[in-house]
Copies of this chain bind each other. A is one copy, B any other.
Amino acid sequence: MTRIAILGATGYTALELLKILARHPHVEVTALTTRQETRPHISEVHPALTGQYDLECEALTPAQVAERADIVFCALPHTASMDAVPQLLDADCKVIDLSADYRLNDPGVYEQWYGHVHTDPTRLNDTVYGLPELYADAIPSASLVANPGCYTSTSILGLAPLVNAGLIEPTGIIIDAKSGVSGAGRRPKLGTLYSECNESVTAYGIGTHRHTPEIEQVLTDVGGAEVQVAFNPHLMPMDRGILCTMYPRLKQESSVEELLAVMMDFYRNQPFVRVVDHIPATKHVAHTNFCDISVRLNRNQLVVFSATDNLIKGASGVAVQNLNLMLGVDSVTALI
């Protein structure tokens, strides 16, 4: 059994990780951390886990974690992650980092979007970006995997086949993204109160959302030419799910059938991306690791749809998919 630790066990990402790992036959969760000094039992923090783990959340140092675990999921806020990750790696742990700290290759871009100097910049180029549909070859041998953002992977999975095939203009791609509230985390804030979000739809972070450079970096890598997107996230009155409705410009006329064929070909052996004829709905992928994608033409305007569960395929599910690749086991283990 591979020993697993989760740093930052009190959030929604950790909750979903623990639900998935409870049915994973090859791992054992051995350490959970929190910054609280009170050592709450994980069942108090997440009553949904009652009876499934007999573990306390402890204020452990990275060194203490490394003694107990072989692979560490790091579910810390950004900047906290780049403090802990170097120590874990030095202690020979492998790390799957769910924060944003190791996703961007360029420390200058990190500083520009996150407002912090990156304190571990030399490692950025050695990090593997944890989107298995694109980087499956590099993940098994990686010691540090940067797990993608939820909007990011949803957007990328829809656009990558078209960018890769050179069918769409790389710039001016409009992404209208719609997310459930759990993506905003579990820290109490006015904006994520039930009575503020329910029965309401609004946009936020227009032009400033931090998943923008991540989408651009990966799609540029996929297509060769520099990709530029206008990313427009919206908050939906639902727990979970992301639907990205994306409006790229076709380079030349194409049919829905041709475009779907390109997508199917691109994801031929991928168990978690489903190219569908119907328009994806977040409900069809909720509580699963699937990403459903499709396209439509609206009076010459290409419309690309991509739907995921933001906490599963957008965070904890893909993290376990990465774990499976690192363990060398079937990539669907614990994920169906």
Q: Compute how far the CA of A286 lies from the CA of B51 in the bound complex, rounded to whole angstroms.
A: 15
Contact of A234 (CB < 8 Å), options: B50, B182, B237, B245:
B245
Chain B residue at minimum C-beta to C-beta distance from A286: B199
Contact B206 A298 (CB under 8 A): yes
Contact A241 B193 (CB under 8 A): no
Contact B195 A186 (CB under 8 A): yes
Interface: A247 (CB within 8 A): yes
Also in contact, A301 and B174, with CB within 8 A (given A237-B236, A286-B199): yes
Contact of A201 (CB < 8 Å), options: B178, B287, B303:
B178
Chain A stretch 235-294: residues in CB contact (< 8 A) with chain B: 236-241, 243, 245, 247, 274, 276, 278-288, 290, 292
Contact of A232 (CB < 8 Å), options: B23, B194, B236, B298:
B298
Closest Cβ of chain B: how far from A56's Cβ, in Å?
A: 16
- Counting contact residues on chain A (CB < 8 A from B), the size range is 35 or more
Interface: A328 (CB within 8 A): no
Q: Which residues on B sit within 8 Å (CB–CB) of A91?
A: none
Contact of A284 (CB < 8 Å), options: B50, B174, B296:
B50
Closest Cβ of chain B: how far from A98's Cβ, in Å?
A: 17
Chain A stretch 142-199: residues in CB contact (< 8 A) with chain B: 172, 174, 176, 178, 180-182, 184, 186, 188-190, 192-199
Residue-by-residue, is A300-312 near B (CB-CB < 8 Å gives 1, otherwise 0)? 1101010100000
Contact B48 A283 (CB under 8 A): yes
Instruction: Name, among A228, A290, A298, the residue most crowded by chain B CB atoms within 10 Å (CB to CB).
Output: A298
Q: Compute how far the CA of A176 lies from the CA of B201 in the bound complex, rounded to whole angstroms.
A: 13
Q: Compute how far the CA of A239 lies from the CA of B238 in the bound complex, rounded to whole angstroms.
A: 11
Contact B238 A199 (CB under 8 A): yes
Also in contact, A283 and B178, with CB within 8 A (given A230-B299, A230-B301, A274-B51): no
Interface: A115 (CB within 8 A): no
Q: Compute how far the CA of A114 lies from the CA of B230 in the bound complex, rounded to whole angstroms.
A: 34
Q: Compute how far the CA of A298 lies from the CA of B285 in the bound complex, rounded to whole angstroms.
A: 29
Q: Compute how far the CA of A315 lies from the CA of B296 in the bound complex, rounded to whole angstroms.
A: 29
Closest Cβ of chain B: how far from A260's Cβ, in Å?
A: 13
19 A/B residue pairs, CB under 8 Å, sorted by A? A48-B283, A48-B285, A174-B174, A178-B178, A180-B199, A181-B193, A181-B195, A186-B195, A192-B193, A192-B195, A194-B197, A194-B239, A201-B243, A201-B282, A203-B303, A206-B296, A230-B247, A230-B299, A230-B301
Question: Closest 9 CB pairs between A and B?
Answer: A200-B283, A202-B281, A188-B188, A230-B301, A181-B194, A176-B176, A207-B298, A206-B296, A230-B298
